[in-house]
Structure 1
Amino acid sequence: MKITDVKVFVTNPGRNFVTVKVITEDGTYGLGDATLNGREMAVHTYIEEHVKPCLIGRDAHCIEDIWQYLYMGVYWRRGPITMAAIAAIDMALWDIKGKVAGLPVYQLLGGKCRQGVRLYAHANGETIEDTLDKAAQCIEQGFDAIRLQAAIPGLKETYGVLGDKKDYFELQGNRPLPPEQEWSTKKYFKLVPELFAQAKARFGDDVEFLHDTHSRLTPIESAKLGKLLEPYDLLFLEDASIAENQENYKLIRHHTTTPLALGETYNTIWDCKDLIQNQWIDYIRTAATHAGGITGMKKIADFAAIYNIRTAPHGAPDLSPICFAAHMHLNISTHNFGIQEFVGFGNEISQTIFKHDMRLENGMIIVSDAPGLGIEFDEVQAEKYTYKRSYLPVSRLEDGTLWHW
């Protein structure tokens, strides 16, 4: 089944998405997500100029061989741009295989391990009370796991809390350059333990809570935070510190029993190898779009299972609904799946472009039984919403020192 064409679409139904369509000789096609937030056009060019010419005429059924060809065959391995391109092609090939077989992708991955995919929702507020009121709304909707983030008093802006801004496009206003935000660990530490103390007092033990530090702390600061949060029994503490030096987490693990989650910026199994095999984390958060697609994610999940580490795929709104669909098929069929981040199915415009029949029920996703990934892409609608250059914010300490965002 020969590949005859590869098309790349960059559309902006509220934020930028890079969508790839792989077409075969009999007209069967598959879809993949290649979105790399803030560097979308780099991936677009990489696929058009370097990947597409290598795929024409290849057998679309040879998923593993094509994955290795695009990974091993370039010499310059890994990296976010290369792996996002590989991811999109890989998802599209799994979509094709499922359509040809007449089966949803999860059946090709071994079938269901559970009836639905457990989700955690986000509650982001301007104050602790506001955050907890939003958590109550999530509970009413059926969620039993919720990430809590509250604005830090004394700072103009806080990660996850955008005020009247709906996304980072609006945050940038009419000046399309990276917005800059201040960070103070001291002010942050005054807020977070109180946030979870009040959450525990208000909601008790029926709901599990999570928190994202977004890599703002040094390892010893993360260790301190983990210990402070132990009484509140978090499901996990996410991205406590940067782990380009993976041994950072050896120090954190030594000081706290709060479960740790990491990996949304990782691109391959090699980025998280030491963290997994040394059991310095409890959840690996790689995303299909950033870590080589379904094939790349399976390699990581199977390796993590040996060390009793669960998957908790990244689910930010800068991953398209195609990536979310790929995650659902992985999650339902992966034995060591833990939980999936969920921020909704996108805005009304996005839902007219990316169409699917996944259902949200009582804080879980019921996965589509349609052949392939079970998602469609409306090219005509997508053309109405053109690319807009955008960046994630930059973080600085209060004295102006550039810091981790």
Structure 2
Amino acid sequence: MPTTAIASAEVIVTSPGRNFVTLQITTDDGVVGLGDATLNGRELAVAVYLADHVIPLLKGRDAMDIEDTWQYLYRGAYWRRGPVTMAAIAAVDMALWDIKAKVAELPLYQLLGGRSRTGALAYAHASGRDTEELFDSIREHLDLGYRAIRVQTGVPGLDSVYGVAASAGDGAEEGDRYDYEPARRGAGGRARPVEETWDTRAYLRHVPSVFEAVRSEFGAELPLLHDAHHRLTPREAAQLGRSLEPYDLFWLEDCTPAEDPTALRYVRDHTTVPLAIGEVFNSIHDYQTLITERLVDYVRSAVTHTGGITHLKKLADFAAIYGIKTGFHGPTDVSPVGQAAHLHLDLALHNFGIQEHMRHSEATLEVFRTSFRFEDGRLHPGERMGLGVEIDRDAAREHAYDPAYLPVNRLADGTVHDW
């Protein structure tokens, strides 16, 4: 039986096209586990939190005691929750599950109860500055095998909109095409946020016509999703939901700012469009009102930002009692380690709904070697022991940290707005 005491832990920061923070834990017997601690635009805050405050507490602990370690890090710090703390706890939790499954010589999903399905339905991000470019993006993703599509579009009169790639080509490497997610440098290479301008009325006028055109072109069967990215008031979100009802959305995502769950009561009362929210949540407690009052249809947290596999499984089980499904946040700022954790949960959870999937760049996949497979529109974590991801330390060292920020949104009069 391997010795399961934690011998060492190390934070690895690498930037193969975008920044990632990875925690590597090693047991006395040499079993290695990986956890994702990436917090887009605030990566070093988590790296320092891990290195200075968490790693010193891990040495000598039994790597098998995952629940106890989770509670120790969450309750013992007194200052609970928040994205930095929960990303750090998530990294430890993922790494310990990775180790436990490797000791058991099983892929992780087997320790979570085994398969509930053969693969996880994945949706892709299609976007375009205009309808022609959007249609090209949808066709490209359908050709890649996706069977569900998130639709985002430029808005007439606005130079750029977060969620819409600046270019559909221009020589971008495979996996980076249509990728709007990386934190961006400001003008002149300065590490300052890009500032975008927003117009809600123009957006509300434009989006229904986009979905009418997409349904006309691609038919009634294709599952379509849309992300409002917290930009709307409850009344505006209700207006959008009602205007999109004829186009049979799979879901409308993040229609209002997530800080006030009671806003969803108004939206729910005024539209039947399915609602998804939660990618900025860090705790099961953030969802309590939304779940118990059935104000949403899908929970959207990322394993990396919500305390890891242990906490996310509890959230999914809580949601299941109320008939609510999962739709875990899977952008490219969740590393392949975090995405692997999602896929093992997706395979095991009975109330799985759909999995967001943005394809990582070739450079990222040279650093993180995965066992994922994608077939017939579905993702599978593979059959490697543990999470099924290895990190190439030599390749990681070739990509130095590159400070960058996500954009800031302003109204035409200069007021900072949700984005």
Q: TM-score, normalised by structure 1?
A: 0.98
- The answer to whether structure 1 residue 9 and structure 2 residue 12 are counterparts is yes
User: 328, 333, 355: which is aligned to 2:369?
Assistant: 355
2:293 is matched with 278
Question: What is the letter of the counterpart of residue 214 of structure 1?
Answer: H
Instruction: Decide whether aligned partners of structure 1 residues 211 and 91 sit closer, same or farther in structure 2, where only a CA change above 3 A counts.
Output: same
Shifted more, 123-132 versus 230-239: the winner is 123-132
User: 147, 152, 163: which is aligned to 2:150?
Assistant: 147
Deviation at 1:189, TM superposition (A): 1.3
Q: For the Cα contact (< 8 Å) 1:5–1:56, is it kept in 2?
A: yes
Q: Mark the runs of 5 or more structure 1 residues left unpaired by the alignment.
A: none
Alpha-carbon distance in structure 1 between the residues aligned to 2:263 and 2:228: 15
Q: For the Cα contact (< 8 Å) 2:184–2:407, is it kept in 1?
A: no
Deviation at 1:349, TM superposition (A): 1.3
Q: For the Cα contact (< 8 Å) 2:195–2:409, is it kept in 1?
A: yes
Q: For the Cα contact (< 8 Å) 1:354–1:378, is it kept in 2?
A: yes
1:396 aligned counterpart, secondary structure: strand
Q: For the Cα contact (< 8 Å) 2:347–2:380, is it kept in 1?
A: no
Structure 1 moving runs of 4+ over 2 Å? 164-173
Alpha-carbon distance in structure 2 between the residues aligned to 1:169 and 1:394: 11
User: 134, 137, 143: which is aligned to 1:134?
Assistant: 137
User: 381, 387, 399: which is aligned to 1:373?
Assistant: 387
Alpha-carbon distance in structure 2 between the residues aligned to 1:172 and 1:308: 44
Alpha-carbon distance in structure 2 between the residues aligned to 1:170 and 1:298: 32
- The answer to whether structure 1 residue 257 and structure 2 residue 260 are counterparts is no
- The answer to whether structure 1 residue 102 and structure 2 residue 105 are counterparts is yes
Q: Mark the runs of 5 or more structure 2 residues left unpaired by the alignment.
A: 173-178
Q: For the Cα contact (< 8 Å) 2:101–2:108, is it kept in 1?
A: yes
User: 330, 343, 350: which is aligned to 1:315?
Assistant: 330
Aligned alpha-carbon RMSD (Å): 1.1
Q: Percent identity?
A: 51
Deviation at 1:191, TM superposition (A): 1.3
Q: Deviations over 1:259-316 (max 9, x none)?
A: 0000001101011111011100000000000000100100100000001000000011
Deviation at 1:170, TM superposition (A): 5.2
Aligned length: 404
2:57 aligned counterpart, secondary structure: helix
User: 310, 313, 316: which is aligned to 1:298?
Assistant: 313
Question: What is the letter of the counterpart of residue 65 of structure 1?
Answer: D
Q: Deviations over 1:16-37 (max 9, x none)?
A: 0000001110010100000000
1:200 is matched with 215
1:399 aligned counterpart, secondary structure: coil
Q: Deviations over 1:84-138 (max 9, x none)?
A: 0000000000000000000011000000000011000111101022112211222
Alpha-carbon distance in structure 2 between the residues aligned to 1:45 and 1:333: 33
User: 201, 208, 215: which is aligned to 1:186?
Assistant: 201
Deviation at 1:162, TM superposition (A): 3.0
2:304 aligned counterpart, secondary structure: coil
2:64 is matched with 61
**1:35-114 aligned within 5 A:** 35-114=38-117
Alpha-carbon distance in structure 2 between the residues aligned to 1:205 and 1:116: 24
Deviation at 1:367, TM superposition (A): 2.4
Deviation at 1:175, TM superposition (A): 1.7
Q: For the Cα contact (< 8 Å) 1:178–1:392, is it kept in 2?
A: yes
Deviation at 1:169, TM superposition (A): 4.7
Question: What is the letter of the counterpart of residue 245 of structure 1?
Answer: D
1:70 aligned counterpart, secondary structure: helix
Alpha-carbon distance in structure 2 between the residues aligned to 1:198 and 1:79: 41
Question: What is the letter of the counterpart of residue 418 of structure 2?
Answer: H
User: 235, 249, 253: which is aligned to 1:234?
Assistant: 249
User: 255, 258, 266: which is aligned to 2:281?
Assistant: 266
User: 296, 300, 324: which is aligned to 2:339?
Assistant: 324
Q: TM-score, normalised by structure 2?
A: 0.95
Alpha-carbon distance in structure 2 between the residues aligned to 1:200 and 1:265: 30
Deviation at 1:172, TM superposition (A): 3.1
Q: For the Cα contact (< 8 Å) 1:284–1:310, is it kept in 2?
A: yes
1:121 is matched with 124
User: 25, 31, 35: which is aligned to 1:32?
Assistant: 35
Q: For the Cα contact (< 8 Å) 2:120–2:354, is it kept in 1?
A: yes
Alpha-carbon distance in structure 2 between the residues aligned to 1:280 and 1:112: 29
2:349 is matched with 334
Deviation at 1:340, TM superposition (A): 0.4
Question: What is the letter of the counterpart of residue 339 of structure 2?
Answer: F
Question: What is the letter of the counterpart of residue 108 of structure 1?
Answer: L
Q: Deviations over 1:330-366 (max 9, x none)?
A: 000000010000111x111111110012111121112
Alpha-carbon distance in structure 2 between the residues aligned to 1:169 and 1:202: 33
Q: For the Cα contact (< 8 Å) 1:144–1:206, is it kept in 2?
A: no
Question: What is the letter of the counterpart of residue 328 of structure 1?
Answer: L
Question: What is the letter of the counterpart of residue 347 of structure 1?
Answer: S
Alpha-carbon distance in structure 1 between the residues aligned to 2:282 and 2:233: 22
Q: Deviations over 1:130-186 (max 9, x none)?
A: 112211222222222100111111011111123139554556351210111111001
Q: For the Cα contact (< 8 Å) 2:41–2:183, is it kept in 1?
A: no
- The answer to whether structure 1 residue 20 and structure 2 residue 23 are counterparts is yes
User: 378, 397, 408: which is aligned to 1:364?
Assistant: 378
Q: For the Cα contact (< 8 Å) 1:141–1:362, is it kept in 2?
A: no
Alpha-carbon distance in structure 2 between the residues aligned to 1:40 and 1:383: 16
Alpha-carbon distance in structure 1 between the residues aligned to 2:383 and 2:33: 16
